[in-house]
Amino acid sequence: MKYELYYWPGIQGRGEYVRLALEEAGASYRDVAREGGGSGAMMAAMKQGATPPFAPPFLKAGKLVIGQVANILLYLGSRHALAPKTEGGKVWVHQLQLTITDLVAEIHDTHHPLGSSLYYEDQRAPARKRTEAFWSDRVPKYLGYFEGILQDNGGSTITGRRITYVDLSLFQIVDGLRYAFPKRMKAFERKIPGLVDLHDRVASRPNIKAYLSSERRVPFNEDGIFRHYKELDA
């Protein structure tokens, strides 16, 4: 089956967690908005059918239209050996992915604490405050949590077994935080040696390595989730 991924063409954003899973799996997919269709094709597809997603990304898989990143990964994980086979294992990695989803929303809110309808330039002072709280409280809590689980399972992957979509997503979290907050992240990385090592090992996996050096990987930029604003990286 050839999948169709629908996501904003100019950013990594939330679509990137899906792209990484599809690439690692070697799955056949079309990134519709990036391959000629543009946002218009995406918005049109979003409103069709009996199960319209609330927002991109969404994945067409045969007759299914699946929205919400963690839901897409739950679906792909079982089909492409990127999740455990037992029910308990599936529930566990899905739980971890949903916690990453929460973290991603909080990362977004560092630059948009007053909401997406205002420009960053109109919320710079609150963004500084939210970013301070994010780095003093939330990053240690979230990344400390994942580091602890990784270490408890031996350090190789989050489950201690074969790689899952959660490992791929944790790669993206480390990669994105390095882009958005290079100074803060540099100082913080000594507290998460396992995640840094996991990041590097994911980056060197053949399919991921090929993807990252291809044009399919959109460069980080200031329209995505991870944005580099110097004043927030004090």
Residue 79: partners with Cβ closer than 8 Å, 6 or more residues away? none
Q: How far apart are the first and last CA of the chain?
A: 47
Give the span between the Cα atoms of 25 and 118, in whole angstroms: 38
- Rounded CA-CA distance 56/66 in Å is 10
**Which of 130, 178, 184, 227 touches its own copies by CB under 8 A?**
130
Q: How far apart are CA 100 and CA 94, in angstroms?
A: 10
Nearest CB to its own copies, comparing residues 73 and 208: 73
Neighbours of 222 (CB within 10 A): 12
From residue 48 to residue 77, the character string flagging contacts with its own copies as x (rule: CB under 8 A) and all else as - is: --xxxxx--------xx-xxx-xx--xx--
- Among 129, 162, 183, 191, indicate the residue that binds its own copies (CB under 8 A): 129
Which residue stretch of 36-44, 112-120, 182-190, 203-211 sits at the interface with its own copies (rule: CB under 8 A)? Answer: 112-120
User: Which region, judged by CB under 8 A, interacts with its own copies, from 94-102, 184-192, 201-209, 214-222?
Assistant: 94-102
Contacting its own copies (CB under 8 A), which of 43, 102, 182, 219?
Answer: 102
Let me know if 202 is exposed, middle or buried by CB neighbors in 10 A (0-12, 13-18, 19+): buried
Where on the chain is the footprint of its own copies (CB under 8 A)? 50-54, 63-64, 66-68, 70-71, 74-75, 87-88, 91-92, 94-95, 98-99, 101-102, 105, 109, 113-118, 123, 126, 129-130, 133-134, 136-138, 142, 145, 149, 152
